[in-house]
Structure formats: structure tokens, C-alpha cells
Structure 1
Amino acid sequence: MTMGPDSGQPASSRLARRLGTGSAVVIGLGSMLGAGVFAAFAPAARAAGTGLLIGLAIAAIVAYCNATSSARLAALYPESGGTYVYGRERLGPFWGYLAGWGFVVGKTASCAAMALTVAAYTLPHADRPARTALAVGVVLALTALNYRGVRKSVLLSAVIVAATLLVLGAVVLASLTGGTASTGHLRPFPDADLGGVLQSAGLLFFAFAGYARIATLGEEVREPRRTIPRAILLSLGITLAVYTLVAVAALLALGPAALAAATDPLASAVEAGSWSWLTPAVRAGAAIAALGSLLALVLGVSRTTFAMARDGHLPRTLGAVHPRFQVPHHAEIAVGVVVAIVVGFVDVLGAIGFSSFAVLGYYAIANASALTLTRGEGRPPRIVPVTGLAGCLVLAFTLPAGSVLAGTAMLVLGTLFWAAPRLLRGRGG
């Protein structure tokens, strides 16, 4: 049996390296420029008022540390799975498993949130069964697209990113020139406090988490040691610039109170001024952006599922690679089916909070893994993973209490799944 060049895995179970820097950046932007920019500003404003701008900066700092740690680790371990691989190699099998478990569970919730967001913007006046049916249809359609090969997914991501940037540019212009912008709106809420600012940072972090999708595609990227770090930092920098412009414009147009109350904050910012005729286009853009996030999320979750199955932590059949399309087709089908089921049982806000907690835990393990790197292995300055690790833990436990409890319970459940077969084997011995 022929072995792959980068690991001990058989060549038949390796994925084809087809993505360059531009394609990887597009996947990262498609992941980040979606739900967060259209949905996260309203709950962040409820938590901190105009202090959400401070929260945005905190979230960006933590995301930068996470991105740097992930980039150094991804260059050393260019395999599918992201922090699942890094934790396994640097901290031990359990920590790798826990990172993979947190990623798969948390991002499955994110997939459900994105599918529901697409349906909510597409059918704003429909009842829940109709929106749920549309959300399920969207999940299944994107699963079929990913099944045909990653290059087709990249092409669609590029179209969605271009459309999203165009819509966000229109939102900024309409918000600043529509006649409602006022610098007086930037006064903070009188009751804003550090806890609220940190909670807003945790909610806004959800919008930055897309660069992980680049690392989870490690086996499908050409020249991974050069491509992955560049793609992660480029996509993060572009996203931060866009988010800052949009956040300031929305606050100037609406003020923190109206922004906090809006269910569709960017559409509301446009609708409040003289550019209200653009509102339908903004709603359509929000649905398209959420579609782009869902596409990249399903791509990333299926790759981590594939890597965990290949190592025996999930059913082995999920580690199969399609002989023609060279994608993990069993993992993609399984993820699509699970997300379609979850869509019928969750709402958007609950899914986002749960996902944020799980993903912050995932990146905490990434930063702890980066702390073990030596200088010869490309270790970042120690302040980077230390800040990232501390930031992830603080933001995770300042999220709403329901999200913290649900996320903790799911991590405990994952730990039991890990421990149970080992205890049984021990008793049998």
C-alpha cells in the first residue's frame, strides 16, 4: 500500500492538495464575513452599548493570538483536523480528542444557526415550519455541493464573499450619508461595565472564528508551511477592517439602544435613513453571507470529523475518501444529516452562544499546544499563546450563563465518551 508523503497514512486516505493562498483566504473570508457581521452586533450592543467597540478590539486581539498559534502549528502539522491534530501531537491524545469534540459539536450548532439565518432572511414572514424546511433544504444542497469536490466550494465562496463585501459597502455608505448618523450616538451606556464588554467580546468572537477552516483544510493546501500562515493572517486582517467600519457606521446611524433592539441590525441601519430603498438588497445580502458561512462551516466540520474517524475516535467509515472526487464523502454526508436534524430543535441565539463557548475551548487547546513548541519548530513569542489561552478562558466564562452551562455539559459528555471504553477495557483486562 502506498503511503502519503506527509504522514504514515495510506495515500488512498489522503486528500488532494489543490488550494493556493488566494483560495484559502477566500474560504476564511467566506467563513467570517457572514453571520457575525449581520447578527452579532445586536446582542453585543445589548451587553455593552457602544462598549461593543472595545469588545470588538478584545475579540480581535484574542483572535490574532489564536490565529498566530494556529498558523505556527498548522505549518508544522499540515493535516486535516486543525487543533484536533495539534492537541494530539503536543499535549496528548485526550486533549486532541477534546478539541476535536468541541469543534465538531460547537460548529455543528453554528451550521444550524447559519441555516436558520438563511431561512429567516429569505422568508421573514413565514412560520417556523416553513423556515425550518428551507433551512434543511439549504443544508442538504450544500452537502451535495461539497460532495462534488472542494474546488467547486471555493468558487461559490468567492462569489458569496464578493457579494457580501458589496452589500457591506452599501450598508456603510447608507448609514453614514442617510441623514441619521450622529456622533452623539457613540456615548456609552451609563450602566456598561467590564463584564458587559467582555461578554460582547465573547459574542463578537463568534464572527472571527472562520480562520480555523483554513487550518482544517491542511491536507488540501499547496505549500502548507507558507500558505496556511499567510492565508490565516490575511483573512483575519481583512475581516477586522470590515467589521470595524460596519460597527462604527451602524452605531452612528442607530445608536446603541436601537442597535441592541434590532433583529436585523444592518438592515435597520439602512432602513432608518434616506437609503431605505436598499433594505431588501441588504436582507438578501445577509442571507447570502449566512449561506457562505454555512458552506465553509460544513466543509470544516466534515474535515475534522474525517480526521477523528481516521484515528479511531469516531466510526471508521467516516474516514473514507471518495475515489473520484477525493473528498471525505461519508463525513460530509453524516455532518449534513446531523445539522439538518439539529435545525429542527434549536434557535439562532442559543446556537451562537453554545458554539462560541465550544470554539473558545477549542482555541484554548490550540494556544496551550503552541506553548510547547520549540524555537526550531517556529514557536511564536510566548506572550502570544499565553494571551490567547487566558483570553479564550475569560471570554468563554463571561458568555450568557445558559451557554456556559450547556457548553460545559457537552464537554463533560465528550470526556465520558472518551473515558468509558478505556475503563471497560481496563476492567476486562
Structure 2
Amino acid sequence: MTPPALQRRLGLGDAVFIGLGSMVGAGVFAVWAPAADAAGTGLLVGLAIAAVVAFGNATSSAQLAAAHPTSGGAYAYGRAELGPWWGFIAGWGFVVGKTASCAAMALTFAAYAAPAGWERPVAIGAVVALTAVNWFGVTRTAGAARVIVVITLGALGAAVTAAFSGGAFSDGSAPGSLWTGGAYGVLQSAGLLFFAFAGYARIATMGEEVREPRRVIPRAIVIAFVVALAVYAVVAVAVLGALGPAGVAASTEPVADAAARSGWEWIGVVVRVGAAAGSLGALLALIAGVSRTAFAMARERDLPAYLDRVHPRWHVPHRAELTAGALVVALVALVDLRGAIGFSSFGVLLYYFVANVAAFRQRGDARRYPVALQVIGGIGCLVLAATLPWQSVAAGVAVVAVGVAYRAIRIRRAA
């Protein structure tokens, strides 16, 4: 009897919304303060740099996905193009780092949606609910992503309109020098803003659940990236125009504060609803992405074989889904990771570095984009990683070392 397998149920629109749900999440409401603190108005240059690096990564992911329409994203691509160790390092960094990101995103949602003192229970409830959504089939995941993205974009549209109606740039806050933060500050802001675009990986990790993947996945990645870039660019200009670089850097809720300049009393509630929805959208896509990568790794025995199962009715990697959800619930209950997940950033950059190297190696009919884009993406990942705080780099290296030791021991025992 043939065991149940993942089914190709997602179309182009579904894949685009899953990607947008990952990219236009809570980060678009909060990333501006640390970026402005690092670079002032230079965050606009940082956004451009992040977009260029992210575009290189996106085209690498699209090219690889067309040649390898399977689950796992850069884990599967690294194995196929470079060898098992390359794939493992990418997959391990993604699974461990993004599991922590799931916990952080759940806590971010609760910060916006829960009454004081109820943040952890509400965050746990969100994780359980979204794990259940993913359990009942990938079409439910896509449907929920559509609703959440529409709510988030609607809230952002209202906030931007309010910011401009309040007289953006009318108080002399128009950007002056775009290099006020210096080269290092601009690059650091680019590193912060880069992760806003990293959500297209979620599309690639679901490669076995997309119809016509060789055509649909590359298109979905590029479309989601372009839409997300436009959203971030408009919000950046609106926030800087309303508050000025110093005001943005000092704000804990820059989008809400910029919108409040309009005097519209109801706009704060709209922004909070949008931020909560954005957090849920990112969390939904993150849980799906982690579980698919874990499933792919278990299939190759790089993670326990227990995770290598597909539900006979819902056709999802249900054991990987439940395990990911349980780990996130445990993290939410025990620790607050919102300010301590720098190694997640390191893991994402490592993940995309492997993707760029893998795409660089492709030849013949598999090549869709100029080699220069993979070079830009790969070098960009290394440069942005170098701008991370040393604590983040150290934590990331430690996480990779644990993974390498785990795989080495497993291989030795299997020999």
C-alpha cells in the first residue's frame, strides 16, 4: 500500500498570499525604530540595499524551486546541488531559528491583542489555533493567509493615509543626508530590514503542495517580493515624513505614532488590529514552513524518522506540525524570546547563503537568472551577517555547532 503523500492543492494566488503573510507581518509595524536608530534617514538606503540582496536571494530560490519542486526549500536544494552537509546546515539553521521566531511572533501578537497579564495564555492559544488550521490541510492555511493579509494591508493603508493627511514633511522632517548613519549604520539597517523580505522562503518550503510548481513557485516568489517591497517603501516614507528620523528612532510604535499625527482618534485601534493580524499571518506561515522543512529533513533521516509522516486524510506532515507547535508552546510558556532571537537572523542569512551557492552551481536549462544575482545575494548575506551584533553571531555559530555534532553522531551510529 502506498503511504499518503503531500498533495498539490495550492495555486498561484494561494502561494502569493502565503508569501505576503510572511513578509508583511508584525515587522512592518515595528522595524522602523531600530533601523532609524542605526541609520537615521539612511534607512531608506538600507531598505534599497536589503531589497537588492533579497532580490538576489529570491531569484535564487525561484530558480532552484523550478528545478527541485519538493518540500524543504534550501535544505532540499543544498542537498541536491551541493551535498548532504550543505543542505543540513541550511535546514538546521532554518528549523531551530524559525522555531524561536514562531515563539517571538506569538508573543508579539499577544502584546497587541491580549489584556495585561494575559500575554502568555493568549500567545499559547494563538499557536494552538494556527497549528490546528495547518493540520486541516494546506488549503485552510492558504485561506487563512488571504484573510489575514487583507486585514493587515487594509490597516497599513489607513495608517499611511492618516500619516500623510497629518502633514508629512510639513514640519521640516523631510530627509536630509541619506548617509547620516554612516556606512556601518546603513548596512546595519539593511540587515534589520532584510528579514522583512525573507518570507518568500515559505513558498519554496511548500514545493510539494503547489500545482505546476515549476511555473507557479518562481512567479509567486517574485510577485510576493515586489508587492512587499512596494508596501515597505510607502510605509517608510510615510513614517519618516510624519515623525522625522529622531522621532522614528524614539518610538516604540512608529506606524501608530505616525498615523496619530492625523488626529483621527480611531486610527490607533486600526493599527493595533493590523499589527495583531500581521503577527498571526507571519506565525501561520512560519509554523507551516518549519514543519515542511522538518518533514523533509526527517525523510532524509537528518531529523528523527518519527516526523516523516503524512496524514492520510488531510495530507499534511501532521507529526512535524504537532511537534513544531508543541515546541513553540513550550518556548512561549517558559521564556520571552522577543529580544533574544539574534541567532534566528544568523540562521536565515546562512540559509539563503546556501541557496545562492546552490543556484550558482546550476547550469543549462536549469538557469533562469544571471549568475550576477546569485553573487550579489551570496555576498550580501555574508556582509549583512557581519553587521549583526557579535552576540547574535556567537549564538548562531553555537546553534550550527550543535547541529553539526548531532548529525556527526547520528552518522557514526548508523555506520
Aligned-partner Cα distance in 1 for 2:155–2:124: 25
**Pick aligned residue for 2:243 from 238, 242, 254:** 254
Alignment gaps of 5+ in structure 2: none
Say yes or no: does 1:40 pair with 2:40. no
Say yes or no: does 1:154 pair with 2:142. yes
Runs of 4+ in 1 over 2 A off after TM superposition: 179-185, 187-191, 420-426
**Pick aligned residue for 1:118 from 105, 109, 115:** 109
1:213 is matched with 202
**Pick aligned residue for 2:182 from 193, 196, 199:** 193
Name which of structure 1's ranges 35-44 and 69-78 shifts more when overlaid on structure 2.
Answer: 35-44
Q: Is the 8 A contact 2:168 2:238 kept in 1?
A: no
Letter in 2 for 1:163: I
Aligned-partner Cα distance in 2 for 1:44–1:359: 18
TM-superposed CA distance for 1:420, in Å, is 2.3
Letter in 2 for 1:196: G
Aligned-partner Cα distance in 2 for 1:356–1:423: 31
Aligned-partner Cα distance in 1 for 2:65–2:401: 27
Aligned-partner Cα distance in 2 for 1:304–1:421: 19
Q: In the superposition, relative to structure 1, how do residues 411 and 13 fare at CA in structure 2: closer, same or farther (>3 Å)?
A: farther
TM-superposed CA distance for 1:423, in Å, is 4.3
**Pick aligned residue for 2:91 from 80, 97, 100:** 100
**TM-score when scaled to structure 2?**
0.96
SS state at 2:361 partner: coil
TM-superposed CA distance for 1:180, in Å, is 5.3
1:138 is matched with 126
TM-superposed CA distance for 1:189, in Å, is 8.1
Question: What is the aligned-residue RMSD (CA, Å)?
Answer: 1.6
Aligned-partner Cα distance in 1 for 2:34–2:291: 29
Letter in 2 for 1:375: G
1:346 is matched with 336
SS state at 2:199 partner: helix
Q: In the superposition, relative to structure 1, how do residues 117 and 231 fare at CA in structure 2: closer, same or farther (>3 Å)?
A: same
Q: Is the 8 A contact 2:197 2:228 kept in 1?
A: yes
Q: Is the 8 A contact 2:100 2:337 kept in 1?
A: no
The 5-angstrom pairing of residues 51-70 of structure 1 reads 51-70=42-61
Letter in 1 for 2:264: W
SS state at 1:184 partner: coil
Aligned-partner Cα distance in 1 for 2:329–2:85: 29
Q: In the superposition, relative to structure 1, how do residues 180 and 273 fare at CA in structure 2: closer, same or farther (>3 Å)?
A: farther
1:80 is matched with 71
TM-superposed CA distance for 1:406, in Å, is 1.1
TM-superposed CA distance for 1:87, in Å, is 0.3
Q: Is the 8 A contact 2:36 2:43 kept in 1?
A: yes
Percent identity between the two aligned chains: 57
Q: Is the 8 A contact 2:179 2:186 kept in 1?
A: no
Aligned-partner Cα distance in 2 for 1:401–1:268: 31
Say yes or no: does 1:163 pair with 2:147. no
Q: Is the 8 A contact 1:49 1:188 kept in 2?
A: no
Q: Is the 8 A contact 2:23 2:197 kept in 1?
A: yes
Alignment gaps of 5+ in structure 1: 3-11
SS state at 1:346 partner: coil
Aligned-partner Cα distance in 2 for 1:145–1:126: 27
